[in-house]
Amino acid sequence: MNIVFWFCLCSGHIVQIHGYREMSFPGQINSIYVDKRRDIKTYDSKVGEVSDILANENNGLILVDKADSIEKTKIVRYRETFKGIPVYDAFITTEIDSNTGSWTGQISGEWYEDLERDITSVVPLLSKHQALALALSNEKIQDGSNVIDSSISLVIVPWNGTGILCYDITLLIITPKDMRRPGIFINANSGLIFRRVQRLRQSSLINAIGGNLKTEKIIYGKNYPPLNVESNFNGTVCSLKSKLVRVYDLKSALMPNRSKPFRFLCNQSIQDEVNGGYSPMSDAFYMSQRVFEMFDQWAHVSVIRNPPIDIWVHYGKRQFNAMYNGKALVFGDGDEKNFPLVTYDIVAHEFAHVFTESYSNLEYENQSGAINEAFSDLVGETFEFYMTGINDFHIGAKTDKINEEGIRDICNQQTDGLSIVHVQDYYDGMEVHLSSGIFNKVSCILMKNPNIGLKVTFQIYTHANRFYWGPVSNFSDAVCGILKAAYDLGHDTNVIREAFSVVGLNGCNLDMYIRKLYGKTHIQNLMATKNEKIMLAFDGQFTIKNKFIRVFTEGGAGDVDLYLNYNLILKRNKAKYVSVSDGNLEVLQIPAKKCRKKLCYIHLLPKEKGFSGVSLWIDVL
């Protein structure tokens, strides 16, 4: 029997989930929790890192991702390994102090212990070739040429209380009738297939033409920038590719019949008008570049870890379909009711599936699948706004030949008669495009909130996708991750909590997730813009001999206001201690005993537009 540790706070207790037995780490978390405080007296002392608690001769950590928080820390995500083999859905997120480079003691995520009780060797009895043959047999593949792409890797899967050495196999299968992408987990010793999941996510400078009869004609090089494509040495033959994307013309087939991206004469525009779309390939190429740009500028992360990505356009005969198949983004030419599916929101929606697979890897079924779809819808709306300055809250409205309804109304998805917008109506096995209405409803509420808005909603969800969601995250996990992400980025978690209550979801308790300060402290270069805030918690349990705690800010530009209360939620007119002078010199002095019995919460808020370069000092007197 293996043991799973679920870290939801930085105390000495670790609570299990998924039916694994509860564990209490014997003193280790508590001791490091004390040592790893932001106290300038400890800056020069050598202390252990998170690996000192978790890593041993069997268990290791692989760095997955990292980003900055508004509280001047780095949020770092690791994946667990067992004897060098990745453990499925086992990730931890930690916090490193940006000023000291030290672990602050914060940790959340899932970690499995004692897997050696179940797995005595990570050398499989089954070869990769044998496992792949079993997978093909399971999918009833008779013609091997229909398998366009495949991947196979060893992974440890905790399953019903037992750790299993598995092959994780993904197949991309394209037949004259359909396209599918199953994920298959095979016991690497017995050959037993014990799980199958769906992994098909459905959705030189030259002048060119794009758009459709509804969006009106786009002339790249005139009312839009020209297409920056590659060309041969003398600039006569161009290829629809760049360092980020490669566009292929499927010519109504189900896959490309050539290995190179679409080529054309540079002095001629791309001629691929179809079904009311002036040039779907030009649009796909241009929009793809801009999706990369949006993620880079607004989320400070690449939408794809290892570009370029392939784009397949003109998929099938009048196919009303768009998808990500693991190898390429695929766009059909629409049908009698819809223009080609190359519009801002649909292109970005499919890119978001690539992002999700690269980061959280949310499974495309049940609750995780609903979250996956809703995230893609949010990204679609965000990109529409990024490109035009407005968004319509309807997915695919610009492909709709009849009206503006499109595929989904993300604010009122239940109006289609099938989708749901409240958790009480959800059941396992529900189609993910229907259950996505729950999170879409929340996204709509947040996008329309003047203190959050569309851009911030996108940033929060994207951060949660990177650091707090995992393959089998459920609704509760996802909400908790969104709340943590909002805190990391300096946004109002209470507004988000209230939005999720509308759909019947309650967020986790963030009290123990807030960044803790102990003793004498100095944090430099703090900054926040309008509607952002920095909140830190001071734990006075180490100030027994001190009478007062002095908190003050100084330096930098802009204007910061300083508040202290005993609650996560700040009501300015009820704050216990307030300093709101003009400029950035703010001072509070509090009896030390006030912060011993319970945490004191320090709030730094911009008075108007924001502040930057501010230093926060805490002195114990």
pLDDT of residue 21: 25
Domain that holds residue 110: 3-117
Task: Examine residue 359 and state whether it is found in any structural domain, yes or no.
Answer: no
- Which backbone phi and psi does 327 adopt, to 5 degrees? -110, -35
Task: Find the angle CA(191)-CA(195)-CA(197) to the nearest 5 degrees.
Answer: 130
Residues 232 and 274 both lie in one domain: yes
For residues 202 and 327, give the distance between their C-alpha atoms in angstroms, rounded to a whole number.
13
Which CATH number covers residue 489?
1.10.390.10
Pairing of strands 208-210, 59-68: unpaired
Mean pLDDT of 267-290: 94
Same domain, 370 and 497: yes
For residue 317, pLDDT over 60 is answered with yes
Q: How far apart are CA 268 and CA 78, in angstroms?
A: 49
What gap in Å lies between CA 557 and CA 609, rounded to an integer? 11
* φ/ψ (deg, to 5) at 620: -110, 125
**Residue 596's pLDDT is what?**
82
CATH of the domain at 157: 3.10.450.40
Q: For residues 314 and 328, is the Cβ–Cβ distance under 8 A?
A: no
- Say how many C-beta atoms besides its own lie within 10 A of residue 74's C-beta: 15
pLDDT digit string (tens) for 169-198?
999 999 888 899 999 999 999 999 999 999
Query: Which of 52-56, 318-322, 354-358, 437-441 is predicted with the least confidence, judged by mean pLDDT?
Result: 52-56
- Of 177, 198, 219, the one marking the end of a domain is 198
- Strand ranges inside 124-257, DSSP E: 147-159, 162-174, 179-180, 182-187, 193-198, 205-206, 208-210, 218-220, 227-228, 230-231, 237-239, 245-249
172 in a domain, yes or no? yes
The maximal CA–CA distance of the chain, rounded, in angstroms, is 81
For 333-381, how does the pLDDT look when each residue is reduced to its tens digit (9 = 90+)?
Answer: 999 999 999 999 999 999 999 999 999 999 999 999 999 999 999 999 9
Structure pTM?
0.90
Count of structural domains, the chain: 5
Residues 329 and 381 placed together within one structural domain of the fold = no
What's the whole-number average pLDDT of the chain?
Answer: 88
Question: Does one domain contain both 215 and 331?
Answer: yes
Strand partners, 521: 618
Instruction: For 317-378, list the strands marked E by DSSP.
Output: 322-324, 328-332
- The verdict on residue 319 lying in a domain is yes
Residue 332 domain-assigned? yes
Domain co-membership, 380 together with 479: yes
